[in-house]
A = this chain, B = another copy of it.
Amino acid sequence: MRSEELHETLLPKRLALPIFASDPLSSVAYATQEILLVLTLGGLAYLHFTPWIAAAVVALMAVVVLSYRQVVHAYPSGGGSYEVVSSNLGASAGLVVAASLLVDYVMTVAVSVASGVDNIISALPGLAEHRVALAIGFVALLTGVNLRGLRESGRAFAAPTYLFIAGVLIMVGTGLLRYLLGRPPVAESAGYGITGDPADTGLAGFALVMLCLRAFSSGCTALTGVEAISNGVPAFRKPKSKNAATTMAVMGAIAVAMFVGVTTLALVAKVHITDDSCRLTGLVGDCGSHTQRTVIAQLASAVFGGESSFGFYFVQAATALVLILAANTAFNGFPLLADILAQHRYLPRQLHNRGDRLAFSNGIIALALAAGLLLWFYKADVTSLIHLYILGVFTSFTLSQTGMVRHWNRELRDEGAAPETRRRGQAARVINALGAVVTGLVLVIVLATKFTQGAWLAVVAAVLLWLMMRGIRRHYDATAAELAAPDPRAELVRPSRVLVIVLVSTLHKPTLRALAYARAFKPDQLEALTVAVDREETASLERQWHELDIDVPLKVIDSPYREITRPVVEYIRSVRRSSPREVVGVFIPEYVVGRWWEHLLHNQSALWLKSRLLFTPGVMVTSVPWQLTSSARADHPAARAPGSVRRGEPPGGRAASPPAETGRGSEPEG
């Protein structure tokens, strides 16, 4: 029953595909367009380079998918590129990957949302002037949903992703069939000419190559997110690695089919798109207010018969939805990476405690703020954002493939392995070496063509993150060294005497409970302490104390300026000075309230006092809570954190089922 339950929560391939592939597949929505936008900088003539560039992208995708299938087999624990690089190329290189990936999560949100908004505007042009507001609204929506702790659900992902795949493939099939039948679809922009940008027209030799390389760099956005499956192997059903590798191959095939199909159809239908409407010729009306539709929208309109056809709205809706889901994957993927980095002490330790919602919330808010700022700054323009995107992806590709080569080198050094294993390892090494060389080459191309166009910002951000994470690790190491106990027995020596001081303001139930609990500890000395902030109240307290004949001495300290913290801290320090070997326990009665605004009305003094007392050596601070009836409202457990489905963790979070298997190293396959 229990293992069946666990099996139920693990993902079958048909659900894993949409969860992990919504990000890489959704990039089909903008990859072709970005290639065309660069080529038309030189005018319409350069569009004939499109097939070659698309072919290069497809070849690259094949190499990357093949390479990552090796990662899936070799590292079934789901550590992904960061784990591969850390364990094979060292911690600093691993940290480079981690920083790149963190930047990439931000870019995934920004680019996917911007492109989603573009496709919404293509269907509803009236929204064009609200582009930035829409984009930031979607980021806010995703933030809210993820802060609420909504779990990713395979089913919720499945429908939009499959509808997107089906919609695009049907569109491509219909369009190409019409082409073969001699009635090719004609894009709305087919009649426009494009004047090249003066800087990029009439290029030859090196300059022409550079333009093509820029187009290729932009087309490489089709590869973003391909590695997602390698991070999620533990979420697959058994045999995990094999199922993950199969899913990866299927995803690669679908991505290639969609990308090739859309690109071919764009050429067939003569989509003429440019980064500046004012370079279009043959335009009716003012170029400044002309909004070009996305390539997907132009194709859907041309194939399905105009902007009011069902097919057009269907494709646009599915595209926008899948892009928003792709953005959501970053909200789920970010905590997973942060978790691992926190475990290695490169990020605050609490990110490793999954039950701590607060820490996750901070991560989600940081991600959303960064993405929102970029969307605002770049006016939600996909093309500008793309420049920042690809660098991190290829940094992690290159380093992880290089790491895999090292991995196989080490594996093959073990001469005792079976010949079949050795042969498989050698083949894998060739694949990964090819992957490393090719992605490294692309990295250089991207760096060369995109650096000045905005990629420098991504580099700066990654470097800062890298420095910060190294700093955090150093701080943790220094703290650990300071806290280490070379002689634990000496630290365990019992203090000679304990003095307990109970803080008292009025004689209500919380105070009386604190007194009762303090007496239960039977300290060597017990006293009650009150600060005379109000003469009348203090006099009344002393009277009551006397009447009740409480067997604990009540000490009153003066506070001319109605401060509480300073006189108490000074008194306790003076006690400590006069008998340094004594330990002082300060008991503070507190009320526990349930409504957020009640916190503003209570316990502020106690909170401040506690935080100051902690600075005094030899003092321990005890909160004695008294639960007011309203406190029951707030007594609920923490919700689950995002990213759990990707981890293969069962729902509910109660300790009902055993933890998902997360062993390291190679997994034997069935």
Contacts and interface: CB of A to CB of B under 8 A. Distances in A.
A356 interface: yes
Contacts of A602: 349, 479
Interface string A568-589: 0100000000000001010100
A181 interface: no
Contacts of A657: 560
A350 B350 CA distance: 31
Nearest to A482: B628
A517 interface: yes
A522 interface: yes
A637 to B, nearest CB: 6
A561 B650 CA distance: 10
A489 B354 contact: no
B495 A533 contact: no
Contacts of A626: 483
B620 A622 contact: yes
A619 B348 CA distance: 29
A605 B353 contact: yes
A201 interface: no
Contact of A567 (B550, B558, B560, B655): B655
Contacts of A495: 516-517, 520
A168 to B, nearest CB: 38
A238 interface: no
Nearest to A531: B353
A560 B517 contact: no
A566 B649 CA distance: 17
A638 interface: yes
B625 A352 contact: no
A562 B512 contact: no
B610 A623 contact: yes
B621 A565 contact: no
Given A516-B495, A620-B623, A628-B479, A560 B591 contact: no
Contacts of A625: 613-617, 619-621
A569 to B, nearest CB: 8
Nearest to A628: B482
B620 A621 contact: no
Nearest to A524: B520
Nearest to A550: B492
Interface string A355-394: 1101100000000000000000000000000000000000
Where chain A touches its partner, the secondary structure class is mixed
Contact of A350 (B489, B567, B605, B619): B605
Contacts of A517: 495, 583, 585, 620
Given A495-B517, A521-B521, A598-B475, A355 B560 contact: no
B614 A590 contact: yes
A608 interface: yes
B508 A494 contact: no
Interface string A487-498: 011011111001
Given A494-B520, A625-B620, A592 B604 contact: no
A631 B615 contact: yes
A125 interface: no
Interface string A463-498: 000000000100110011011110011011111001
Nearest to A623: B621
Contact of A629 (B356, B476, B482, B585): B482
Nearest to A362: B600
A507 interface: yes
A634 interface: yes
A598 B629 CA distance: 36
29 contacts: A343-B534, A348-B601, A349-B601, A349-B602, A353-B533, A353-B563, A353-B564, A355-B563, A356-B565, A356-B604, A358-B604, A476-B601, A479-B591, A482-B628, A485-B509, A492-B519, A494-B516, A494-B519, A495-B520, A517-B585, A560-B657, A567-B655, A569-B637, A587-B620, A592-B615, A614-B623, A614-B625, A615-B631, A620-B623
Interface of A: 343, 348-350, 352-356, 358-359, 472, 475-476, 479-480, 482-485, 488-489, 491-495, 498, 507-510, 512-513, 515-517, 519-523, 533-534, 544, 548, 550, 558-567, 569, 583, 585, 587, 590-592, 598, 600-602, 604-605, 608, 610, 613-617, 619-629, 631, 634-635, 637-638, 649, 653, 655, 657-659
